[in-house]
């Protein structure tokens, strides 16, 4: 609903800022000693890729790019959750 209210470009900026906060919060887990090196490396790589995809959305805030970004957000979360499980188990 946000693109209807504020437009695609401003929505892309909101998505980008939320992504920055999401990735920053995901990197707090190893800082506080909850998770190890494997998770840290995966979180940095996946976060970097997700920021790259968000920059693409900022440059081209079309509906198609937004849907790809949404799909990538689901993949990002799946990768992060798998990294948590693997890091804790091994």
CA–CA distance, 26 with 49 (Å, rounded to integer): 14
Domain region containing 27: 2-89
Q: What average pLDDT does the segment 35-51 reach?
A: 96
Q: Is the pLDDT of residue 42 over 90?
A: yes
CA–CA distance, 32 with 88 (Å, rounded to integer): 14
Split into its structural domains, the chain has a count of: 1
pLDDT at 50: 97
| pLDDT confidence band for 1 (50 / 70 / 90) | confident
């Amino acid at each position: 609903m946000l693109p209807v209210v504020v437009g695609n470009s401003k929505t892309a900026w909101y998505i980008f800022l939320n992504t920055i906060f999401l990735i920053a919060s995901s990197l707090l887990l190893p800082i506080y000693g909850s998770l190890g090196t494997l998770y840290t490396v995966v979180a940095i790589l996946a976060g970097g890729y997700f920021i790259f995809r968000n920059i693409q959305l900022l440059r081209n805030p079309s509906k198609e790019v937004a849907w790809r970004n949404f799909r990538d957000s689901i993949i990002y979360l799946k990768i992060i959750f798998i990294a948590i499980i693997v890091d804790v188990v091994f």
